[in-house]
């Protein structure tokens, strides 16, 4: 892929069995091979139980593979001495920000991970302020996190990860608890960080509209990586998506219905704007 130069995370023939699931249990992940380049924005989609969260946890070394290898910047995640480095390289953001907020003020919360590093308190304060400004949280630094809105809480959780200067952000359904405006805020913030600072993003989502903004979409089913490609290919493949109980974007689904009714729409419609423009140009021609 043009513009990318270094592999940031890599799964090589990875199987993962949760412990205590018995010998005949099916694996949560099976034979997964995947490389993600520095600066890529990857969406990971798949039905419930397909292994998405498990794969993110392997990239963050919260889990280690049963078979195969996971490498973060070329370092195996099983290597105990480099575990802190792996965790700093790949910061993880969970669905529910409440589970990640631990301190009594937003400022302390963002600073939490930095406290374990050998840096002065003045430097910590500087970094926290800088990150808070980046995420539009500077007014909230003295607030208790539990009084914030869901979108604000998620931005604080993101700030707590970003302040550690990760190369990669792993997001597990980060907008699942947010209202539409909160979703937009979080997604736009992360996309901008990806563009401006070349931070890699691996984003697990059940929302096709979110996946449509990725550089690449990867599909998991029953622990296996079944396909991957640009959003306009993957999210327009309605038979594949429906067979997995998934769906395309609203524009993809509508365009498919309109084509069935005889509207000669182009195949690569992904976003609402493209559908509207295509319909308007048909209207003008007729
Ligand atoms: N702690 C656990 N112990 C045992 N089995 C687990 C555990 N966590 C997940 N699993 C199993 O591993 C498989 C993959 O789960 P995972 O949570 O990775 O799926 P997912 O794609 O994230 O699903 P969802 O969309 O519901 O979040 C599922 O079959 C699930 O039941
Ligand atoms: Mg999950």
Q: How many domains does the chain have?
A: 1
Query: What does the pLDDT look like over 228-258, one tens digit per residue?
Result: 999 999 999 999 999 999 999 999 999 999 9
The domain in which residue 64 lies consists of: 7-248
Statement: residue 282 has pLDDT above 90: no
Say if 72 falls within a structural domain: yes
CA 171 to chain centre: 4
What is the token pair recorded at 135?
């995420």
| Element (DSSP H or E) covering residue 189 | helix 180-197
Taking residues 88-117, report their average pLDDT: 90
| Residue 30 located in a structural domain | yes
Q: pLDDT-based confidence at 136, cuts 50/70/90?
A: confident
List CB contacts of 168: < 8 A, sequence separation 6 or more.
8, 9, 36, 38, 59, 72, 89, 90, 91, 199, 200, 201, 202
Mean pLDDT, residues 39-49 taken together: 97
Mean pLDDT of the chain: 92
pTM of the model: 0.92
Q: Give CA–CA dist 105/111, Å, rounded.
A: 10
Alpha carbon of 55 to ligand 1 centroid (Å) = 10
152 domain-assigned? yes
Q: Is 44 in the pocket of ligand 1 (CB under 6 A)?
A: no
Query: Which residue's CA lies nearest to atom 24 of ligand 1?
Result: 48
Evaluate if residue 121 carries a pLDDT over 80: yes
42 Cα–ligand 2 center, Å: 16
Ligand having the closest approach to the CA of 45: 1
Of 90-99, 148-157, 231-240, the range with the highest mean pLDDT is 231-240
Question: In this structure, what token pair is assigned to residue 113?
Answer: 């991970």
Q: Distance between CA 47 and CA 242 in Å, rounded?
A: 10
Bin 22: left if φ > 0, else alpha if -120 < ψ < 50, else beta. Answer: left
Q: Which segment, 9-23, 106-120, 213-227, 272-286, is predicted with the most confidence on average?
A: 213-227
Q: Give residue 1 CA to ligand 2 midpoint distance, Å.
A: 28
Buried b (16+ CB within 10 A) or exposed e, 241-266: beebebebbebbbbbbebeeeeeebe
**Percentage of the chain with pLDDT > 70?**
97
Inside any domain, residue 285: no
Sheet with 224-229, side-by-side order of all strands: 90-93, 168-172, 200-204, 41-45, 216-221, 224-229
Where would I find the H helices in the chain?
Answer: 52-59, 83-89, 106-111, 121-134, 150-162, 180-197, 208-211, 231-234, 238-243, 250-260, 272-285
18 lines ligand 1 (CB under 6 A): yes
Closest residue by Cα to residue 90 from 124, 47, 133, 61 = 61
- The CATH number of the domain holding residue 144 is 3.40.50.300
Inside any domain, residue 29: yes
Nearest C-alpha to atom 1 of ligand 1 is from which residue? Answer: 18
Q: Output the CA torsion 215→217→218→220 (10° steps).
A: 150
pLDDT given at position 3: 53
- Residue 285: is its pLDDT beyond 90? no
Residues 83, 32: contact at Cβ < 8 Å?
Answer: no
286 is a domain residue? no
Q: Is residue 161 part of a domain?
A: yes
| In-domain check, residue 167 | yes
Residue 142's CB is within 10 A of a number of other CB atoms, namely 9
Q: CA-to-CA distance for 67 and 89, rounded, in angstroms?
A: 23
């Amino acid at each position: 892929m043009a513009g990318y130069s270094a592999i940031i995370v890599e799964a090589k023939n990875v199987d993962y069995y949760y412990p205590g699931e018995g010998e005949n249990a099916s694996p949560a992940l099976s034979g997964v091979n995947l490389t993600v380049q520095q600066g890529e924005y990857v969406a990971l989609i798949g039905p419930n139980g397909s292994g998405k969260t498990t794969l993110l946890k392997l990239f963050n070394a919260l889990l280690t593979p049963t078979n195969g290898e996971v490498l973060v910047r070329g370092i195996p995640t099983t290597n105990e001495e480099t575990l802190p480095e792996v965790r700093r390289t790949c910061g993880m953001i969970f669905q529910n920000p409440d589970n990640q907020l631990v301190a009594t003020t937003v400022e302390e919360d963002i600073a939490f991970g930095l406290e374990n590093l050998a840096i002065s308190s003045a430097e910590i304060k500087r970094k926290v302020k800088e990150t808070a400004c980046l995420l539009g949280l500077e007014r909230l630094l003295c607030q208790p996190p539990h009084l914030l809105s869901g979108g604000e809480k998620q931005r604080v959780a993101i700030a707590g990860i970003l302040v550690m200067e990760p190369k990669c952000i792993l997001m597990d359904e980060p907008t699942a608890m947010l209202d539409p405006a909160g979703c937009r805020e979080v997604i736009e913030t992360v996309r901008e960080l990806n563009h401006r600072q070349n931070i890699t993003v691996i984003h697990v989502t059940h929302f096709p509209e979110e996946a449509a903004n990725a550089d690449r979409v990867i599909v998991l089913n029953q622990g296996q990586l079944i396909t991957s490609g640009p959003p306009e290919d993957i999210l327009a493949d309605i038979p594949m998506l429906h067979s997995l109980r998934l769906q395309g974007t609203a524009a993809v689904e509508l365009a498919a219905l309109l084509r069935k009714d005889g509207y000669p729409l182009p195949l690569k419609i992904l976003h609402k704007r493209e559908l509207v423009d295509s319909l308007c140009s048909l209207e003008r021609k007729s």
